[in-house]
Amino acid sequence: MFGSGITFSGLGSGIDSASLVSRLVQLEGLRKAQLESKKGIAKSKQSALSKLEGLVKKLREQAKSISTSGQFLKLAGQASREGVLSFDVASTAAQGSHTIEVQQLAALDRWAFDGVADPEVDLAGADGETLQFTAGGTTHTITVTAGASSLNEIAAAINDAAGTSVAATVVNVGTQSAPSWKLVLASKVSGEAGRITGITSAIAGLGIDGSEAAPGSGTPVSANHVTVGTNARALVDGLLVERDSNEFSGVLSGITFTAQSTNAGNPVELSIEPDRTAIRKSLDEFVSAYNGVVKFLNEQGTYTAESGAGGALFGDSTLSIVGSKMRLALFNVDLGTVQADTEGYSTLGLVGVGVEKDGTLKIDSSKVDQKITDNVAAFAALFTDDDGAGTGDTGVAARLTAALDAVLDRGTGPEGQGLKSLFGAKSESLTRIMSELDRRIADEEVRLDKYEETLRMRYANLENLMARLNSQTSALAALYQ
């Protein structure tokens, strides 16, 4: 090795010292390779642990989504005829049927002032003329000036003053050659509560007959009263119900319906039944998530002579902890409960959810569908826990949710200190191991660099020595020739 950093390997000794140094460094680096291998194993474990945590979280989400009857026992409505009403059914609705007869739709109150030929012509005879009406419980007085009292200007003034309660528009009800422009005042709230009352006009060129329809009547008294604000009326199971809009809520528990057309004398029958399609979908998603975890546990925990360990978590206690909690939640059923069950709804197997040899679940579709049809409440009770107390009606989905909470969420120690979750503790431990391995690998790299430098210096000195010896030998040989 020379000051320039260039090494002429073997010039003096005939030994390929560069290759020899490289091989010696490689052999000395076996310890570093072992550390890197250990880090790779820890990293693979952490990756597999993260994947398992994701699968367990997905399972918990699916279990939680069917852990109460309100979530699992979905209901659907069926109307005997379309076009009369639309409806929404909540889980709080009761199964059964109802007759609904829409007698009257809700309407907005509308008034039209007497027509004028030109909406841009001023109508007031003097400043200070007024138009007055009451809407939404507030009386509005619109005052105009003689020079700013056209129909369009009056409509704009009304919208500025009372735009939250009414809408004022200008409409031509005549023809293009013989126009008749009318100021239309419409309530923004339907029903009798939204009626516009007390309409008077002291504007010289703007007339209106403000005679009002009687309360409860939908028949106008004045020709200027275009439509009368009326409540929607419906006979629900024979009882008269009114609302100020076409939406009827708070009439039937858990059911909201909106009237679309009248059907007096021809009631619609609304049937509320379990939504079997939605229930099956929820069950299928739950089983799929459960099987996803089981398959991963099986893959990680398998060992064969040909392939060795099936996954990075082979032998890790996390696999057995998660698997055990899942199985206990689903299959640890009280013997007395099973013996007292005369209908066959106390275990998953009895309702058509069987267990395969590998621990995954399999749905017997025909049996499950029949069980739902026979007694959907009992079917739901197998999975749900409505009181949240963890006793009595605790179902398998509720138990599984609680079991997975225990491995996914942080707990609390005896003095209130936060505890790490199973996955959190495992991941943190692996992170510490990898950090320590990184430190040791860095130390090894420094040691190997120094070792290589020392070897190169030694072989460079050897080459120099051998070169001098060869030179002396050549000189001696020359003396005796």
Closest CA relative to residue 91, chosen from 258, 293, 254: 254
- Are the C-beta atoms of residues 37 and 433 closer than 8 Å to each other? no
DSSP code for 94:
P
Residues 355 and 445 in one domain: yes
Residue 433 CA neighbour count, 13 Å, CB half: 18
Residue 463, pLDDT score:
72
Q: Say how far apart CA 95 and CA 127 lie, in whole Å.
A: 66
Residues 356 and 414 in one domain: yes
Residues 300 and 444 in one domain: yes
Q: Say how far apart CA 87 and CA 66 lie, in whole Å.
A: 24
Where does a domain end: 227, 244, 259? 227
User: What pairing do the DSSP bridges indicate for beta strands 166-172 and 232-236?
Assistant: unpaired
- Are the C-beta atoms of residues 121 and 196 closer than 8 Å to each other? no
Mention every residue, 6+ apart, whose C-beta is less than 8 A from residue 435. none
Q: How far apart are the first and last CA of the chain?
A: 34
Mention every residue, 6+ apart, whose C-beta is less than 8 A from residue 65. 71, 72, 282, 285, 286
Mention every residue, 6+ apart, whose C-beta is less than 8 A from residue 411. 418, 419, 421
- Are the C-beta atoms of residues 204 and 76 closer than 8 Å to each other? no
Closest CA relative to residue 18, chosen from 7, 29, 28: 7
DSSP code for 192:
G
The pTM is what? 0.64
Residues 269 and 280 in one domain: no
Residues 357 and 367 in one domain: yes
Residues 198 and 268 in one domain: no
Residues 323 and 459 in one domain: yes
Residues 414 and 282 in one domain: yes
Residues 192 and 51 in one domain: no
Where does a domain end: 171, 194, 227? 227
Domains contained in the chain, number: 3
Q: Which domain holds residue 189?
A: 110-227
Where does a domain end: 227, 243, 265? 227
CA 370, 373, 376, 380 torsion-angle sign = positive
Residues 210 and 240 in one domain: no
- Are the C-beta atoms of residues 189 and 154 closer than 8 Å to each other? no
Residue 311, pLDDT score:
85
Q: Say how far apart CA 94 and CA 71 lie, in whole Å.
A: 14
Residues 90 and 160 in one domain: no
Closest CA relative to residue 353, chosen from 334, 335, 331: 331
Q: Say how far apart CA 144 and CA 150 lie, in whole Å.
A: 9
Q: Say how far apart CA 1 and CA 458 lie, in whole Å.
A: 9
Residues 194 and 326 in one domain: no
Low-confidence ranges of the chain (pLDDT < 70): 1-17, 25, 387-393, 411-419, 481
The runs of H, that is alpha helices, within 253-308 are: 276-301
Closest CA relative to residue 181, chosen from 135, 119, 223, 225: 119
